[in-house]
Amino acid sequence: MALNYHILDVFTERPFGGNPLAVVLDADRLTPAEMQAIAREFNLSETVFVLKPTAAGHTARIRIFTPTREIPFAGHPTLGAAILLADLRVQIVNGESDAIIALEEEIGSVRVGVRLRAGAAAFGEFDAPKITSVPEELAQPEEISAALGLIPSEIGFENHKPMLLRGSNVFAYVPVANLEAMSKLRVAPTHWARAFTDRGTDGVYVYTRQCVRTHASFHARMLAPDLGIPEDPATGSAAIGFAHIIQAFDQGPDGAHKRIIEQGVEMGRPSMIQLVMTVTRGKLDSVRIGGSAVRVAEGTLKI
């Protein structure tokens, strides 16, 4: 069996930035064990397998695997798969085209709006799945700082404190004082297990307001060793939860608020994630995640 695949860089307008993603097409005959083996072979943070849709009105069904397990949803695989399918199936007319790519995922249906422009990186945006849980405070800053290779005084800024949010993925959100603290992050395995693994976290999203780029609102790093991902260059699913953290501490007024998150800088893979938050009656009503993606490679898998 031969299957075509593509490699995309997601949340970037240029090759070799952003978060790399493998997308395997026409994967209906693969077993879950074979999908997992292929994901281990690519050894990227996620690999997407595209299958025929089972529900009317959908473009495709996708399954998402990290090198160690299947996950029900992730942001950069959703965005990258949708942009690839639009790029392969939608014809650009007079230099531009727009498309809606409806994806069946384990978490449910996700609709991605894709903008194609001749000579430019494709841009996609999707309504994030709802998160019904509320952020929980993570106490013990000494334990958290030890797990991240920092000192307690580097944890937190303004009124921001470490929080845990349970959605389709479970992320810890840890604010740190500045870019200097961000540059020192490292995983201390013994302390990490007590601070994060034992609480069921999939990853730890560390952030600060101090940024490298002037148009960015936050600078972030994502560490996810429990998923087999030492560090992720761009994490859309964590950005969704981050919207809830922002609103909890910053209390934005009613209306739409756009925030740009820079990530992956320390890895040499700078990424830009567009986060649009809509606040109604003082509460976060909806979240949209957007970003660009570029194709960098393609090939054939022989199974």
- Residue located via tokens 């030890």: 146
Is the Cα torsion angle 152, 167, 196, 139 positive or negative in sign? positive
Residue 46 annotated as catalytic: yes
75 touches 170 (CB < 8 A)? no
Give the DSSP letter of residue 142: H
Residue type for position 170: V
Which tokens is 102 given? Answer: 């409806």
Considering 13, 41, 46, 262, which one is annotated as catalytic? 46
Strands (DSSP E) contained in the chain are 2-10, 19-24, 47-51, 60-65, 70-71, 96-105, 108-117, 122-127, 136-137, 163-166, 170-175, 203-208, 218-224, 229-232, 255-263, 271-280, 283-302
Pairing of strands 170-175, 163-166: antiparallel
Give the DSSP letter of residue 200: T
Q: Which residues contact 300 (CB under 8 A, 6 or more apart)?
A: 2, 3, 4, 5
Displacement of CA 301 from its chain's centroid (Å): 26
Stretch (H or E) spanning 190: helix 189-195
Residues with catalytic annotation?
Answer: 46
